[in-house]
Amino acid sequence: MQSPQFRKSVQACEECAAACDHCAAMCLADNPQSMQSCIRFDLECAAVCRTAARLVARGGMFSIAACRLCALACDACARECASFAAQHCQSCANACLACAQACRHMDPA
């Protein structure tokens, strides 16, 4: 049985990945040329979040390392998304910040 913190981290990672996917899709639909960097950050962050969620969910030996990487990716994606006024970018930035915080709570160091 995993702790509530483990479940919270998995949920935050999954929600962040979904927000990143949505943001990337909306950026592609809105103006892909001017939002290339946002799209790249979204896609990378979503991939890292999904990996971290899977490792944490199964209690993998690299869970903590994945959470550290996830927090870094989420911080970077949040900064990028926050630089755009679009609501989907702002929502993504908020999901990224929440995920980074949840991931940092997984690290005992």
Q: Which tens digit of pLDDT belongs to each residue from 34-92?
A: 999 999 999 999 999 999 999 999 988 999 999 999 999 999 999 999 999 999 999 99
pTM value surpassing 0.85: yes
Helices and strands, number each (H, E), in the chain: 4, 0
In terms of Cα–Cα distance, which of 107, 102, 109 is closest to 17?
102
